[in-house]
Structure 1
Amino acid sequence: MVYIAGEEMTHYASQLIVKEWIKPYFETGAWFEYDLSCVNRDKTGDQVLHDAVAKGAEIGAIFKEPTITPTKEQVEEFGLSSPLGSPNGAMRKGWNGITISRDTIHIDGVELGFKQPVLFERHAVGGEYGAGWKTVGRGKLLTTFHPEKGDPLLVDSRDLDNDHNVAVVYHNPLDNVTDLAHHFFSRCLESEVVPYVVTKKTVFKWQEGFWAIHKSVFDEHYKEKFAAKGLLDGTGGELQHLISDAATMQIIRWTGGNFGMSAHNYDGDMLTDEVAQVHRSPGFITSNLTGKREDGVMIKEYEASHGTVTDLWHAHLRGEETSLNPLGLVEAMIGAMQHGAKLELEAGGPAENFEKVMTWTTTLRKAMHNTFRYGQGTRDLSGPTGFTTEDFIKKVAWRLERYLIQGEDETAPELSEPDRAFRRNHKVDDEAVQEMFASYDTDGNGSIDLDEFTNLLVKLGVAPQKVENKGKEADI
């Protein structure tokens, strides 16, 4: 597979994981490694990024550590000769990106946010990210399309009567949405979750195509299969469309999970951040880019959904203890290794290699999850007594070796949801919470009864609503 190294705390943790968990069992000489740190990208004139993209397309299985897109201040801090763009755009284009799958990660016995899985597909191309723009004044703005053959087509014409405007132009490619729809519905069917397609097509009429393609693929290939499993019982027997506004509300209401959403690039970016927060943090969702090579081979790049965890890196550099939860990183590593083994098997490689990779990755996940469940996790789940970054990795390495050698199947204890006060970004204003509580405790008895609780939910806008006209779309 291709291994893309990144920066800061996640790079440090990833190197420990490779050393302690992987190299005792695997020869990693077949990995193609690329250093995408800012300093090395600058040193190579970004050739290392182009090389990594090319090799990723060739191999088809990629693990990526979080990387930095430097700010103006970081350009000076790192001594870079020029600003560097995000590598993600080059990767999504070079690997014919179709979708970025961001799913909730679950640990048996530990309730994190959603009780059951939530699957999400974010269209990997198009939208604001590649937009062209200029700051302009008064005048006429024309957007004209020049086809490869035929006459030019005026897309839009408008008069700008403000002295200060920003003109923005972007487009949404639709050719690969059919592949996206098949990928989405196949995963939802396998996981037995209810699928929803999210757009703002009631207002943004140009988004109709995204929905129409999904609907066509669903009706022709998947509708009967979903119905047979009872997954359309609550949607009137049809594929349900959600306006993006409604999706933001449903995500915080449907904490039981068991649903999937497919959305445009920008909507998917925002909504998956919301999914992550409901499910505790970005460390508890996956982020997998799926592309398609010209010969039909699926390219898959796996990474953690979070960044380089700069605050812990600075603490590490100061010699302080850190407690980084590597769950998202390890799920990405597992995914890349499993996909690489699958591609090797399909290319005629030995079945023994595939079986060993699958056994090892499955056992690693079990060892890591059980370590959390025994209360031996990092401090975001286990509190102040939790392990440091280094000690957690050593503890999992110890348990992994036991499981692999002895085939031991220990049963870890069932745990309730860990206190969210353990999170590093927990900055709740206790006095403000007390004031808020008092405003809803209308009789002042120190507790909130059902009527007061209902009033609270209504005022916060999160009260569950009665479902009417099932199967029909509402413009919310």
Structure 2
Amino acid sequence: MAQKISMATPLVEIDGDEMTRVLWQVIKEKLLTPYIDLKTVYFDLGLLHRDATNDKVTVEAAEAILAYGVGVKCATITANSARQKEYNLQHLHPSPNATIRAILDGTVFRKPIVVANIHPTVVTWKKPIVIGRHAYGDVYKAAEMAIPSAGKVELVYTTKDGKEQRILVANMDGPGVVQGMHNLDDSITSFARACFLYALEEKLDLWFATKDTISKTYDGRFKEIFQQVYETEFKARCDAAGISYFYTLIDDAVARVVKSEGGFLWACKNYDGDVMSDMVASAAGSLAMMTSVLVSPRGAFEYEAAHGTVQQHYYRYQRGEKTSTNPVALIFAWTGALKKRADLDGLPELASFAERLEKATLSTIEGGLMTGDLAKLASPAPSKVLDSWEFIDAIRATLEKM
């Protein structure tokens, strides 16, 4: 075999949980380390290690991404009470993705991975729809409280010099729940700028949607800042590039999206982007066919799979079964990170390898070799459904021919 491709600066490698953790190692063994002298700074964000470190490892991983500039992340579990019991956890920590995104204060861009023989279930879609998801605040940084009995709930703002402003949230007639969310003007402004810059780079029209008719102050602030950033910083550049900016309500946007041809960037608030990216990925083919990159205004990038840890497949794997779990989004997380590392360090050979691995992956699927999720959608249908290990071996064989 030819000499391995060198790297100058390490990637920050963030390991994860369950089935994706298993496939993470297979991808490295079969598709990366035979060809690259792979340099990484490793963090184990598996659920048990996060619990053992009281989630300190998650913060350290995020800080390392800022220091090294590029990270690649496996899927991780966000524990709930059922997971706490299953794994005998001492703590229930926030979503590791939410923690990392808050520290990087970036925007998540998610784009479907398109192959010729997998057709979208939304028949009008001709081009990929990219989701730009705000990655700070809202429900992911919310404070919550269970109200045990009747009483008054208020929002209180106290200035640094001790002055207070209060508004009534609700007069509770009995037990219930309350939640307080927040966001920051600086973060919303960074989100808007990132979306306009991405739209210009990719030559895509930009849509933005909130519910400012109901949330006149909170969502209204998002609308106001987006419009201000557009008019003061990007209107002339968008006009020159032939790119349009379009604002509408989130429910109207959903109705328009499913009747559109695609081919635009849809900017969404944090929770909206979480939901809509899964909708777009599923309708485009599979949740495992979606790239995801977190872009920080401080110049750092984190690439990850846009799906979860594939829990049920992991239980089958623990019983000794070979599962047909789709590893494409995990592969593209690695290739995205390698291409960005190559771009930042001036390593064309590394970038070329990452491009070849992506093409080998798509060519393998288009050649009729794929996992079960894609086999249900492929036209023509494949003659055989491969398990994950067979599929990765098939990609390796295609890569060798290239």
Deviations 1:369-426 (A, max 9, x none): 00000101222223571221111111111111221xxxxxxxxxxxxxxxxxxxxxxx
In structure 2, relative to structure 1, the CA distance for the partners of 1:339 and 1:220 (3 Å cut) is: same
Do the aligned partners of 1:375 and 1:386 also contact (CA within 8 Å) in 2? no
Distance 1:158 1:368 in 2: 52
Give the 3-state SS of the residue equivalent to 1:303 in structure 2: strand
Question: Residues 98 and 135 of structure 2 are in contact (CA less than 8 Å); yes or no, is this contact kept in structure 1?
Answer: no
Aligned to 2:384: 385
Corresponding residue number in structure 2 for 1:111? 119
Alignment of 1:364 with 2:364, yes or no, is: no
Q: 1:5 Cα deviation (Å)?
A: 0.7
The Cα of 1:332 is off from its aligned counterpart by 1.1
Q: Which amino acid aligns with 2:324?
A: S
Q: Distance in 2 between matches of 1:390 and 1:140?
A: 58
Contact in 1 for aligned 2:150/2:172 (Cα 8 Å): yes
Give the residue type in structure 1 aligned to 2:96. Answer: P
2:33 to 11, 18, 23: 23
Cα contact 1:131–1:169 (8 A) shared by 2 = yes
Could you tell me which of 59, 65, 68 is aligned with 1:50? 59
Match of 1:90 in 2: 99
Q: Give the aligned residue type for 1:251.
A: V
Give the conservation status (yes or no) of the 8 Å contact 1:251–1:275.
Answer: no
Q: How does 1:243-322 map to 2 (within 5 A)?
A: 243-254=249-260, 256-293=261-298, 298-322=299-323
Deviation at 1:278, TM superposition (A): 1.8
Q: Does 1:144 align with 2:156?
A: yes
CA distance in 2, matches of 1:154, 1:83: 32
Matched, 1:165 2:173: no
Report if aligned partners of 1:98, 1:177 keep a CA contact under 8 Å in 2.
Answer: no
Secondary structure at the aligned position of 1:32 is classed as strand
Q: 1:154 pairs with 154, 157, 165, which one? A: 165
Are 2:74 and 1:62 aligned? no
Change (3 A) 1:168 1:76: closer
* Contact 1:128 1:170 survives alignment (8 Å): yes
The CA deviation at 1:161 is: 4.8
**2:283 aligned partner, one-letter code:** V
Q: Aligned with 1:292: secondary structure?
A: coil
Task: Quote the residue 1:200 is aligned against.
Answer: 211
> Partners of 1:176 and 1:134 in 2: how far apart?
25
Q: 1:110 Cα shift?
A: 3.9
User: Deviations 1:426-463 (Å, cap 9, x if unpaired)?
Assistant: xxxxxxxxxxxxxxxxxxxxxxxxxxxxxxxxxxxxxx
Q: Report the alpha carbon displacement of residue 13 of structure 1 after superposing the two structures with TM.
A: 1.1
What stretches of structure 2 of length at least 5 have no aligned partner? 1-10, 377-382
> Matches of 2:197 and 2:257 in 1, distance apart?
21
Query: In the alignment, is residue 11 of structure 1 matched against residue 17 of structure 2?
Result: no
SS class of match (1:307): coil
Q: Contact (CA 8 Å) 1:132, 1:170: kept in 2 or not?
A: yes
CA contact (8 A) 1:127 1:265 kept: yes
Q: How many residues align?
A: 381
Residue type at the aligned position of 1:285 = M
Q: How does 1:464-475 map to 2 (within 5 A)?
A: none
Structure 1 position 251, deviation (Å): 2.5
Tell me the residue number matched to 1:226.
Answer: 238
Distance 1:44 1:142 in 2: 35
Within 1, Cα distance between the matches of 2:102 and 2:240?
Answer: 38
Which stretch of the first structure deviates more once superposed, 364-373 or 128-137?
128-137
Mean CA deviation greater in 207-216 or 71-80: 71-80
Distance 1:401 1:175, change over 3 A: same
Contact kept, 8 Å, 2:70 with 2:301, in 1: the verdict is yes
Q: TM-score under structure 1 normalisation?
A: 0.75
Q: 1:21 to 1:132 in 2, by over 3 A?
A: same
SS in structure 2 of the partner of residue 282 of structure 1:
coil
Matched residue SS, 2:111: coil
Larger Cα-atom Rg: 1
Q: Distance in 1 between matches of 2:285 and 2:12?
A: 30
Deviation sequence 1:122-150 (CA, Å, 0-9, x none): 111121222222233333333221223x4
Change (3 A) 1:50 1:223: closer
Distance 1:231 1:15, change over 3 A: same
Query: Which ranges in structure 1 are unaligned for 5 or more consecutive residues?
Result: 233-238, 346-350, 404-476
CA contact (8 A) 2:152 2:170 kept: yes
The question of whether the paired residues in 1 share the 8 Å contact of 2:204 and 2:263 is answered with: yes
RMSD (Å) for aligned C-alpha atoms: 2.1
Bigger RCO of structures 1 and 2 (CA < 8 A, at least 6 apart): 2
Residues 1:211 and 1:251: Cα distance change in structure 2 (over 3 Å): same
- Contact 1:248-1:274 at 8 Å conserved across structures: no
Contact 1:62 1:301 in 2 (8 A): yes
Identity %: 29
Cα deviations across residues 329-372 of structure 1 (Å, max 9, x unaligned)?
Answer: 111111112222333x2xxxxx3xx1011100111111110000
